[in-house]
Amino acid sequence: MPETPEPLLETVDLAAGYNGVPAIRGLSMSVGPGEVVALLGPNGAGKTTSLLAMVGLVPLLGGEVRVLGAPLGRRRPHQVARSGVLLVPDDRGIFYGLTVREHLRLAARRADPERERQVLDRFPVLRNLDSRRAGLMSGGEQQMLAIAKALLAGPKVLIIDEMSLGLAPKIVQEMLPAIRDLAKEDGIGLVLVEQHIELALSIADRGVILNHGRVVLTGAAGDLLRDRHLVEAAYFGAEQFADTEGTLAG
């Protein structure tokens, strides 16, 4: 078995929430270079809270988050972003009043024309929209912009929250694999929160299913796809899974 490299992002028994009430408890997961982890679960399961906690936007109520080997500590969210862990949030994290060019300008600390060319090669549509304001673009274009600007910053970990929200299925079917390829090529650790179980698991290496603020199922993506009934059960709130934090042996 090949030696597993040091995870880029790791959570150990993470608990986080609002006003002292945890929305997620006991989340332990990790993502290494080139790995794709799908974080799944119904609405209100605690997925978004987990992501926000990983980048420091929501305070931890327990457990630990390790970023590039070092604990998150008291780092402010913008420092987490600068250290290479980028979150593309559910509102896409773009600025309706700014143009595409301005977004890309903000993305990279130092202008790197070579890198920019590489990224825009993957999203050629954006080249034509250079001076278009983000607010005037379609959902798919906005999502492309969100991801392109994240990539331009040269992240080590890329976390995308509900990328497929509001996008036509066809576009989603094209974008997800493209992003996976990108991650693998550049050795980026990719965490995807998704509603589309099948699509997400089809490009992921591993899956983590949350429900009621807990991990109810984890396993290799292929295994989860095969044992679909377990995934459904996890989704529809089978309490026994909540208690056992069932794991599928790989």
Residue 25 or residue 149: which is nearer to other proteins going by CB? Answer: 149
CA angle 53, 216, 174 (to 5 degrees): 70
Place of tokens 């997400």: 200
Show contacts with other proteins in window 31-60 (CB under 8 A). 55, 57
How far is Cα of residue 239 from the mean position of the Cα atoms in its chain? 26
Residue 18 or residue 236: which is nearer to other proteins going by CB? Answer: 18
**Phi, psi (5° rounding) for residue 18?**
-120, 140
Q: Which stretch binds other proteins (CB under 8 A): 27-35, 77-85, 162-170, 227-235?
A: 77-85
- Residue 232: CB partners within 8 Å, gap ≥ 6? none
Burial of 13 (0-12, 13-18, 19+ CB in 10 A): exposed
165 binds other proteins (CB under 8 A): no
Residue 2 or residue 20: which is nearer to other proteins going by CB? Answer: 20
190 binds other proteins (CB under 8 A): no
**Phi, psi (5° rounding) for residue 128?**
-75, -15
Report in angstroms how near the CB of residue 51 gets to other proteins at its nearest: 11
Tell me the three state secondary structure of residue 20: coil
HSE-CB for 130 with a 13 A CA cutoff = 5
As given in the structure block, the two tokens for residue 64 are 């630990």
Report in angstroms how near the CB of residue 236 gets to other proteins at its nearest: 28
Residue 153 or residue 233: which is nearer to other proteins going by CB? Answer: 153
Q: Which stretch binds other proteins (CB under 8 A): 89-97, 165-173, 176-184, 241-249?
A: 89-97
Report in angstroms how near the CB of residue 226 gets to other proteins at its nearest: 36
The contact pattern for other proteins, residues 124-153, with x = CB under 8 A and - = no contact, is -------------------------x---x
Q: Would strands 246-247 and 214-220 be described as parallel, antiparallel, or unpaired?
A: parallel
- Residue 244: CB partners within 8 Å, gap ≥ 6? none
CA distance 68 to 65: 10
Choice from 42, 60, 102, 122 touching other proteins (CB under 8 A): 102
Number of residues that bind other proteins (CB under 8 A): 25
Residue type, 155: P
Residue 107 or residue 197: which is nearer to other proteins going by CB? Answer: 107
Choice from 60, 68, 98, 125 touching other proteins (CB under 8 A): 98
Contacting residues toward other proteins, per CB under 8 A? 55, 57, 76-78, 81-82, 86-89, 91, 93-98, 102, 105-107, 109, 149, 153
